[in-house]
Structure 1
């Protein structure tokens, strides 16, 4: 055989292998271009989402500041109410102590005046017992005594409202 034919056959086989490799490379490049287009779409949508998020940050900061200010106002108002309630409780304790002392004094003044009564037939009758006052009447008496001890001008608005509420419950 001739060297020229062997070389031509060898070149032809190598050309066929090169063409097959070029076809395979072309398919991969096509897939890469397709994926690159998809990747570009993803990057564009990611960019848009980033811009929206960045534009929302100042709005969120403003909303957080407004909420913080409103919460601070409520906390201050609650502290003021807490102080008023503490004052009212202190005053109520003082009034309750006064009423308790007044009741003790009244009981000690009434007990010596009660005398034993003689029963017909020679025995001693026990002293009469006062019937316990109903709960509502007792509360009304306590509230009336408490309101009599305090002057109206010395009361805060919260105390006045509390007294009105107590009086309306009678």
Structure 2
């Protein structure tokens, strides 16, 4: 025997100490479980918010895709129209250049005629201008 204490008393003291430690550990474990449960509720709310935000983002992406497709179609139509106008403008510029060259030739011929035949020059110029205006009218009617 130790120090004169009966063996039964020592065993019961050890059991009491172990029981007290177990109760203390259970209280500590209970507090941790409560915190875990609170964290679980917060986590569930966070997951619900995340799902909601994801749904909103998916909807926004769908709308952006639709808007992008619509903008692409509009831009393509405008580009085609601009190309048609560009071709038409180039044709007009070419026709204008040809017309200006003809006017320059007529003017040159008229000036030469004035230098050679001062009396007949106005008639030749007027005749050339009439022919030119007839050609322009015939082209306008054909177009």
Matched, 1:150 2:127: no
Measure the CA separation in 2 of the matches of 1:29 and 1:101.
104
TM-score, scaled to structure 1: 0.61
Structure 2 counterpart of 1:8, from 8, 12, 16: 12
Gaps of 5+ in 1: 115-143, 156-170
Match of 2:66 in 1: 62
**Partner residue, 2:97:** 93
- Superposition RMSD in Å: 2.8
For residues 1-46 of structure 1, what are the alpha-carbon distances to aligned partners after superposition, in whole Å with 9 as ceiling and x for unaligned?
Answer: 1111211221222222222222221111111111100110111122
Shift of 1:97: 1.3
Name the residue aligned to 1:72. Answer: 76
TM-score, scaled to structure 2: 0.70
1:118: which partner in 2? none
Q: For 2:24 and 2:78, locate their aligned partners in 1 and report how far apart those are by CA, in whole Å.
A: 79
- Structure 2 unaligned regions, length at least 5: 119-128
Moved more, 14-23 or 49-58: 49-58
Using the TM superposition, name which of 62-71 and 49-58 deviates more: 49-58
* Structure holding more helix per residue: 2
Q: Deviations over 1:64-111 (max 9, x none)?
A: 332222222212211111111011011011112112222332333344
Once the two structures are TM-superposed, the CA of residue 57 in structure 1 deviates from its matched residue by 4.9
Q: Alpha-carbon deviation of 1:112?
A: 5.4
